[in-house]
Structure 1
Amino acid sequence: MTIDYSQARETMVEQQVRPWDVLDGRVLETLSALPREAFVADAYRSLAYSDLEIPLGHGEKMMKPVVEGRTLQGLKVQAHEDVLEVGTGSGYLSACLGALAREVLSLEIDPELAAAARARLDATGLGSNIRIETADALHYRTERRFDVVCVTGAVTAIPPQFLAWLRPGGRLFVVRGQSPAMEALIQYNDVNGSRIESLFETDLPYLVGAAPAPQFVF
């Protein structure tokens, strides 16, 4: 059976993403244009536009389309801005960010995932303004500052360096809390201090090294 991916893409936007209050025109346009099927393994290609977390291997999963849509809408990425993404994964969200921003630096702890994402971005011609670095974000150091930091894995508490990477007026997307009830939020680095906007509840796999310590129950 041949799948009409452009039709599947349109259905995803109209029946999944838009009904979840994703109404930002630039975000909807990006999700409608980018070939999500090119960023999943062949075995899962028929599920590329389903309301599912798709396995990527190495214990990682691709976010559901609705979560990606709400994430992009919450960040309000502008064409002149620089983005730091924590957790490249498949490279699909990197491509979406790249379509909306001036430049994207994406950190991926797993070298194989980083290489696969790079290959997908190159194959689709979507990676010209995206750089992928193999690095552990929890121990990453840079003097560079970004307008947007997008974290694609959950944390129990927000590491201070994630906020330190923001320029004044910048914003951080992160999911924090304990599974299965986590909160997706935007933290703003405003001139008058930091403020938090709660976006939605979700449940994501933790960033490597960011899971809570096991609790012993007697």
Structure 2
Amino acid sequence: MTDFSALRRMMVDTQIRPSDVTKYPIIEAMLAVPRETFVPDAQTEVAYADQNVPLGAQRVVPEPRTLAKMLDALDVREDELVLDVGCGLGYSTAVVARLAQMVIGVEEDEQLASEAQDLLSESNADNAIVHEGTLAAGAAEHGPYDVILIQGGIEVLPAEILAQLKDGGRIAALFMDGALGEVKIGYKSGDRISWRFEFNAGAPVLPGFAKAPEFAL
């Protein structure tokens, strides 16, 4: 029988800490949340591998290092409201729930959204809810948000998402250019956002976050 608690400690010791993630609340959250619970049943044996875990339909649970480094750069505080776009089965939402005052996960796949809400309830993440709706539309009715993070690649950031970020808020996004990706942290000031590069990563581009195709004559 697989010892998932041992794999969880190994994940933190070999993937998270060596990536310069040292904030104790993040380490504690990733040690506490059972990642194997929040991946498809067929993927539990690779839940703690240093890779994206497939959810189906070109969707993934991003590798642990990507989430941890995003959270380290965002420095989520316990009095903040967070929007977690593309939450899948809820792993990232469960982790963020241990850092923030409240977290809203957004998922457009009806089955994933339903399962995510059940899993979060079962894990006593009482300050987390799943909003079923188009990823690129966010969840404006619960905002505005202090922090937004996006669980997957993007090529463009929809204006509707940016509009839900508070003035002075932060957003983490993985900008993909072909197979290469850069995680950047955006800082909102008025209607403008300034981006800072953090690290390289990769993930499939989420639906609604791809560039419009260019037509050439």
**Which of 140, 143, 149 matches 1:142?**
140
- Counterpart amino acid of residue 134 in structure 2: D
Q: Deviation of residue 88 (structure 1)?
A: 1.2
1:100 partner SS: coil
Q: Deviation of residue 217 (structure 1)?
A: 9.3
Query: Matched residues in 2 for 1:169 and 1:212: separation?
Result: 27
Question: Equivalent residue for 1:132?
Answer: 130
Query: Matched residues in 1 for 2:110 and 2:34: separation?
Result: 23
Distance change (3 Å), C-alpha of 1:55 and 1:192: closer
Q: Residues 158 and 176 of structure 1 are in contact (CA less than 8 Å); yes or no, is this contact kept in structure 2?
A: no
Question: Equivalent residue for 1:114?
Answer: 113
Task: Give the TM-score taking structure 2 as reference length.
Answer: 0.91
Q: Residues 60 and 152 of structure 2 are in contact (CA less than 8 Å); yes or no, is this contact kept in structure 1?
A: no
Q: Residues 162 and 172 of structure 1 are in contact (CA less than 8 Å); yes or no, is this contact kept in structure 2?
A: no
Q: Deviation of residue 190 (structure 1)?
A: 3.9
Q: Residues 157 and 177 of structure 1 are in contact (CA less than 8 Å); yes or no, is this contact kept in structure 2?
A: no
Matches within 5 A, 1:1-218: 2-126=1-125, 128-140=126-138, 142=140, 144-190=143-189, 194-214=193-213
Q: Deviation of residue 96 (structure 1)?
A: 0.6
Root-mean-square deviation (CA, aligned residues, Å) is 2.1
Query: Matched residues in 1 for 2:24 and 2:118: separation?
Result: 29
- Counterpart amino acid of residue 203 in structure 1: G
- Structure 1 alignment gaps of length 5 or more: none
- Structure 2 alignment gaps of length 5 or more: none
2:200 partner SS: strand
Q: Deviation of residue 181 (structure 1)?
A: 1.4
Q: Residues 156 and 210 of structure 2 are in contact (CA less than 8 Å); yes or no, is this contact kept in structure 1?
A: no
- Counterpart amino acid of residue 127 in structure 2: N
Q: Residues 172 and 186 of structure 1 are in contact (CA less than 8 Å); yes or no, is this contact kept in structure 2?
A: yes
Query: Matched residues in 2 for 1:67 and 1:214: separation?
Result: 28
- Counting matched residue pairs gives 216
1:80 partner SS: coil
